[in-house]
Amino acid sequence: MFTDGSDTGSPDQGAGSTASRPADGDARGSDVDLLGGDLVGVAGWSDEDVLAALGQAEAAARREDAWRARLAAEVDDRSGRGLGTSSLAARRGCRNARELIRRLTGAADISVSRWLRLGHATTAPTTLDGRPLPARFAHVAAALHEGRINTDAATRIIDELNPVRDVAGDQAVAAAEDELVTACAAPRPGGRARLDAESVRIQARTWAQFLDQDGTEPDEQTTLARRALRLGATHHGLIKITGLLLPEVAAMLAAYADAATNPRTPDVGHPTTSNEDTNTAGQVGRDPRTRPQLMHDILASALSAAARVADQSSLAGNSPTVLVAVRHPDTHSTGTGNHGTPTDAGTGGTGNHNPDKDTSTHQRRYGAGAVFSGNQFGAPLPLSPGAVDQLTCHGTTQHITYDHHGAITAIWSPTRTFTPHQRRAITLRDGGCIIPDCHVPAAWCEVHHVTPHAQNPSGTHTHNGVLLCWHHHRTIDTNGWQIRMQDGTPWVQPPPWLHHPHDPHDNWQPATGSPTHFLDTLHHRGLLHTRTRQ
């Protein structure tokens, strides 16, 4: 059992308190009586007070949840079936520990199950002679008891790693557990967690997949024999489709669906829908189609495209080039330094750049412009400076700079974009959007130049590109997140309002969503080995 070091007080201590708002000063260090405060008065608090109180409430909840898990496991131990009628549950008139805990706490069975799994996994057992043994998940137990991790994150680590323990071994599981706790836990009791529970689940599942890469070998012949696709009879003008797809076939369909439903791409229309109908529908507002309807139209588009390709010797894989026009006086920087210039329209020069630019600093590179894509929009559409920055950094675009007379002064070549081979390598390294707690997959992400192309025209390489989702790419100049490359890998720093006030140097952290990150960790720990199928 562990001791509760929480200083949040008890209900009795808070009953007579007059404090109804956080004290002034350090939000994370102030002594706030959340139990004795008036919840109605919260509406009158400042933004800083609300966030400070929420952080302290989370810190108190971590302690309470740790106690709940430990005590629930103790009740379960004292209610074992082997004890018969002398068990704690039987003496309280309950069938088992779960019923006793539910009656005592009023919690749902799913909560009781989580407490029991967590409590048993983080409790140090003892031998018959009373000697303590390490807990199955000692790193999670330490962080949980210190108040540096909540039960949501702790449970996800345990649930994902526990099933692979028999295959990977205790040492490899402990290494993965240590890495996950380090990546997600607060640096000190009551501090801000580095990752949310969903991000922890994704990383823990990735660890589990690397620790048990073989998994359960399917029966190949049985799998092939069961593959099927059936078209049923016509019913109300529709044909029912059923069947079982091979994993690789389903993966191809899912990949196409991801590309077609990407939030930054136009909606996929039915092959029989005219351009006029599509444009009209887009002007009405949000796409009214449901997800199943979108999947139907995606499949229809894929089949239609396949039919067209069958009649052609080749199909160009590149989308039409988008033209972006930027007025020359607007191509400026809000900061200092020698910024690069685009390729001269007449000479083909490359211009100068500043190779010593701090890659963790974001600056506005361009002014407003306009985008031309005649087949879809007809007239040019105005672009904000942020949109021009984003297109310049990522898109397959041709940029034309002109002066106030309308004369073309420079042309940017579309070859400055990352090649497909570079993007695949960056995808393998980053895994998805590198901003913590952002779960946008790599297929939906754009490749961002950490050092802007204008400052380093030769910087379109894997050591200068990172994956960002559309939202974080568009707002990278304003959202407060900083990015830098360290030894060829991306590191991120959260906005100032997420910094820990007592440890400003603890805010840079590596982007840990990469599949290769886990292999590197195992390699450095000497745990990477090859397992052969028996």
Relative to beta strand 408-412, strand 397-402 is antiparallel
What pLDDT, on a 0 to 100 scale, did the predictor assign at position 155?
Answer: 92
pLDDT, tens only, 341-400: 333 333 333 333 333 334 444 444 445 555 554 443 344 445 556 656 656 565 555 666
- Tell me the C-alpha distance between 120 and 398, whole Å: 60
Task: Evaluate if residue 7 carries a pLDDT over 70.
Answer: no
Contact assessment for residue 511 and residue 484, using Cβ atoms and an 8 Å cutoff: no
DSSP strand pairing (369-372 vs 509-510): unpaired
307-343 pLDDT, tens digit each: 545 544 443 444 444 555 555 554 444 333 333 333 3
Report the run of H or E that residue 315 belongs to, with start and end.
none
Q: Identify whether the C-beta of residue 494 lies closer than 8 Å to the C-beta of residue 507.
A: yes
pLDDT at 398: 60
The pLDDT of residue 219: 62
The confidence score (pLDDT) of residue 25 equals 37
Q: Which residue has the tokens 């675009």?
A: 397
SS3 content of the chain, % helix, strand, coil (to 5): 45, 10, 45
- Collect all residues with Cβ–Cβ distance below 8 Å to 189 and sequence separation of at least 6: 5, 59, 146, 147, 148
Out of 148-152, 250-254, 279-283, 428-432, least confident range: 279-283
Average of per-residue pLDDT values in the chain = 70
Whether 187 contacts 148, CB under 8 Å: yes
Q: How confident is the model at residue 258 (pLDDT cuts 50, 70, 90)?
A: low
Q: Which residue has the tokens 């805010």?
A: 507
State the average pLDDT over residues 236-254.
79
- Over 50: is that where the pLDDT of 300 sits? yes
CB atoms within 10 A of CB 180: 28
Local confidence band at 261 (pLDDT 50, 70, 90 cut-offs): low
User: What is the token pair recorded at 55?
Assistant: 């952080």
Does this model's pTM top 0.75? My answer is no
In whole angstroms, give the CA distance from residue 194 to residue 200. Answer: 10
Those residues with Cβ within 8 angstroms of residue 278's Cβ, 6 or more apart along the chain or in another chain? 267, 269
476's enclosing H/E stretch is none
How many Cβ atoms sit within 10 Å of the Cβ of residue 472?
A: 20
- The predicted-structure confidence for 89-116, as pLDDT tens digits, reads as follows 888 888 889 989 998 999 998 999 999 9
Instruction: State the pLDDT confidence band at 73, using cuts at 50, 70 and 90.
Output: very high
CB of 432 within 8 A of CB of 511? no
What's the pLDDT score for residue 323?
Answer: 56
Residue holding tokens 């350090």? 26
120-179 pLDDT tens trace: 999 888 888 878 888 899 999 999 998 899 889 999 999 999 988 888 888 989 999 999
CB 443 within 8 A of CB 258: yes
Over its C-alpha atoms, the chain yields an Rg (Å, rounded) of 29
What one-letter code names the amino acid at 448? H
Lowest-confidence region among 40-44, 148-152, 198-202: 40-44
